[in-house]
Copies of this chain bind each other. A is one copy, B any other.
């Protein structure tokens, strides 16, 4: 796993805005000028933060995985009971995506092929760690006799998909608040896998 790369809030802001631009236009069609314009920096200024477009994409994805590590995995690890831990994973990650917007999550799933092989491997390894964490939580549920008659690998992949999909359809200007969506979402995740 590569070291945490986040340096400062200014860089975080660039990552978030750049992710939105890349999502809208597509990674290939986005130029460094587009990004400089969107974040209000000169093209020279933006090269203070990043080396180039591929490096920026890698930084954005690392930023996204840092969020998962800090806001989802670390606090969920503190919870021993697998059912409560799963609920915390679903609630925390869903909340994070709805609050921050889905662009970073969308890039993390759609644009892996745009990374260099070394960068792609680094991000993929971090994603695999997260998937494994979800799977272990489900195996813990099974050990307590609380998992439905489903394969934990299938269930973990499906739950990750439910989470990652949120950023694609949730409209923060729509009628439902993020809290309402997260509540219904967590209800679905829990009933999908936990015996009632």
**Which A residues form the contact surface with B (CB < 8 A)?**
23-29, 109-111, 113-114, 148-151, 153-155, 157-158, 160-162, 164-166, 168-170, 176, 180-181, 184-185, 187-189, 191-193, 196
Contacts and interface: CB of A to CB of B under 8 A. Distances in A.
13 contacts: A23-B113, A27-B28, A109-B110, A150-B187, A154-B180, A154-B188, A155-B188, A157-B165, A157-B170, A158-B162, A158-B166, A160-B165, A191-B191
A26 B115 CA distance: 11
Nearest to A23: B113
B26 A114 contact: yes
Contacts of A169: 157, 160-161
A158 B188 CA distance: 9
A185 B162 contact: no
Given A28-B29, A158-B166, 11 more contacts: A27-B28, A29-B114, A150-B184, A150-B188, A154-B181, A154-B188, A157-B169, A158-B162, A161-B162, A161-B164, A161-B165
> Which of A154, A166, A181, A193 gathers most chain B CB within 10 Å?
A154
A154 to B, nearest CB: 5
B188 A192 contact: yes
Contacts of A164: 161, 165
Contact of A113 (B25, B150, B158, B161): B25
A184 B25 contact: no
A181 B158 CA distance: 10
A29 B113 CA distance: 9
